[in-house]
Every structure is written in C-alpha cells, then in structure tokens.
Amino acid sequence: MDLHEFDEWGPEKIVSVADSRTGMRGVLVIDNTARGSGKGGTRMAPGVTVAEIARLARVMTWKWAAVDLFHGGAKAGIRWDPTSPDKETVLRAFVRRLADQIPSSYVAGLDMGMTEADAAIIQDELGDRGAAVGVPEELGGVAYDKIGVTGHGVAESVDAALHLLERPTAGSRISVQGFGAVGLAAARRLHELGAVVVALSTTEGAVHDPDGLDVPYWLAQRAEHGDACVKLAPAAHRIAAGEELLVDCEVLIPAAIQDVIDERLAGQIRANLVVEGANLPTSPAAEQLLAERGIAVVPDFIANAGGVVAAAFAMDARYSPFRPDPAAIMATVAARMRANTELVLTESRRTGTLPRAAAMRLAQDRVRTAMALRGRLPRVRSAE
C-alpha cells in the first residue's frame, strides 16, 4: 500500500511485523478510531497483503458506524498457510511482535484461516483475556459460528429487504454462494421463514434444484462431510461452482469470498435482489449495472454486520465472569440488520443513488461527526 492511498479517513496506523526464525510476516492496520478503539478480525492466508488488510480495515470502519456501535475500523493479517503444522508457532510469534499493540490498540478476532482455538492461543501467549475475542465457549467466548450470528443477520436483512420491496419471503427462491458459517446460517434462518433455497455451493462444487433443496438434509450433510457434501447430490442436481450465481431466483446471497461478481456476471444474474453475505463480493461497476437492470444490492457492511454486533457483546464481556446471552445477541442482530437494511434501501430510493452510496453516506456522516467532535477533521489550508 502506497502513502498516496491514505485519505482523510485513514489509515491511522500500519504496523508490519516479521520473525526470521519462524518466517512469519504480518500486518496490523488501524484505520479510524474516531468512534472508538480499532476492532476487526485477524486473517491468516498465504497471499495476505498490506493493501488487502487496509481495504478490510476500512470496511470495518463503515460497519461499526453503520450499525451505530462505538468501535473503529481495524484488521490484522498473517501471511501463512493456516493448514500448516507450524500455525501455532507462527501465530504466537505474530502476537508477541504486536504485544505493544494488543490489546491496547487492537483486539484480535476471527477471520479467514482463524479458529476459536487460535483466539485462545492469542490470549494465552499474552496472558490477557482481553487480547482476543472469538474464543471457545468454554473460555467464556461467544460461539459465533455455532449460533450463526452473521448468517442470521444476513437472513434478517433479506427478509427486511423483501418486505420493503413488497415481496413475500415465504416462497421466495434463494441461491446461496458459500455454504460455510455465514451461508449455512442464512439458509437455515431463511428456511425457517418459509423461503425456498434452490442452490448452494462450497469450494467443492454446487447443487441446484429449481423445486427447492431439502435444507435440513444439507445442513446435516455439511456438518458430517464439510465442503465435500455437495458431491452427495444426484448428478442431475450438480452444477459447476460459480453457476449458483446465475440460477433463476428471487434472492442471491454471495457469502463466500470477495470479488466474485464482475460486470460480465452482473449482466447474467437473474435474481431480483442481491444481499451480500461476504465482504466486497461485487465490483462497483457490477453494482451499477445491477442497479440499471433493476436489481437492488444490500451492501456487505449493512447485511453481514451481525458479526460485529456479536463482537461488540464479546468485547464488552472479555473480563466478565459471565457469558454473553445468545438470545440477547440474536435479538440485537435481527433488530439492527432489519432497521439498517430498511433505512439504506429507503434512502437509496429517495435520493436515486445506489444502496451502497446511501449506506456510505450514513456511515461517513457518523464518522465525520465523531472526527469533528475530537478535532480530527483535516485542516483546510488557506489560499496563499
């Protein structure tokens, strides 16, 4: 990331760390703390870059502001293969190098390549319960994936959007890209609401049935077989990975990885509504094309912010002897996701702008107000 990419919002701090003994390379990006301390997940992947982590830290700035919770944007990344037998050694080296930042400036969390056990290792390495959230329930953590907070919030966003568009959720056909923690929980909740899941995918392929998939069956198969569950589908129902984005449906939920919907795909999507379960799955040009085709997009930092709501509960409970109440978390997630989805889509209609632009305006106004109150707005230089 070059210095010219810094802007009025941040990043405020980029800390690169390395350990020659283990080969660890990592980075911490604190984007904007005007509304509170930096908070965002920690990612481990072989191709992690500073630019990628900075981009995700900025998403966290907008997520926290959009759900109106008082933390700022941050993200950390470790360039390492999370399947490596040296994962723990590398992780411990990473947090040791950032001991002056964790948890004073940053609290580690879960993202790609990181598990609850890894969060526990971070706490152990620094000897501080406050060093990480996302630890196992047995250590007082919030079971994000078990209760499915992010996916549950995505489903509530879908329901709110369909209601605003005067379409019933019951009977609406849903395609879910990514049957991991987010997509699985979204499919489960939407099934409860009467929607019909017609397609789902994993890294091993995709399954499609225009008459609707048996969601409880696929939940059970996913739990037993992981990503390989899709191979159990009859040949007639198997489709190539990626084709789930193009099936005929009312709602498409990209809940896998970023940068999957480009202009080419946007011209072929047959859904009426796209609700982003993953971070940054749709390019700006694709969003514009979808809007021109009458397809609304509920942006990631509105639809998938259930995880940050749960993280806020976890942050508050780090030093408490009591576990956070899952029922309270889920109720808050549902309320926040529904309210923000309706607010953003309504504002989008009123102003004739893309939903992402409406959401960005909401988040930026909140961050800018906080920056002004703290005296952090950029100085306006007088003309000479």
Q: Where are the alpha helices (DSSP H) in 175-305?
A: 181-192, 215-225, 263-266, 284-292, 300-303
Sole residue written with tokens 């008459």 = 211
Q: Report the candidate in 285, 279, 277 with the shortest Cα–Cα distance to residue 73.
A: 279
As a residue count, the chain comes to 384
The pair of structure tokens assigned to 67 is: 């759900």
115: which residues sit within 8 A by CB, 6+ positions away?
none
Is 75 part of the annotated catalytic residue set?
Answer: yes
The pair of structure tokens assigned to 170 is: 């019951």
Sole residue written with tokens 């080296």 = 93
Cβ neighbourhood burial of 342 (10 Å; 0-12, 13-18, 19+): middle
Kindly list the distances between the CA atom of residue 240 and the CA atoms of 200, 203, 205, in Å, as whole numbers in the listed order.
Answer: 11, 10, 6
Give me the catalytic one of 63, 75, 146, 231. 75
- CA within 13 Å, CB half, 353: 13
Burial readout 102-127 (b: 16 or more C-beta within 10 A, e: otherwise): bbebbbbbbbebbebebbbbbbbbbe
The pair of structure tokens assigned to 164 is: 């605003």
**CA dihedral (133, 134, 136, 137) positive or negative:** positive
* Residues annotated catalytic, as ranges: 75
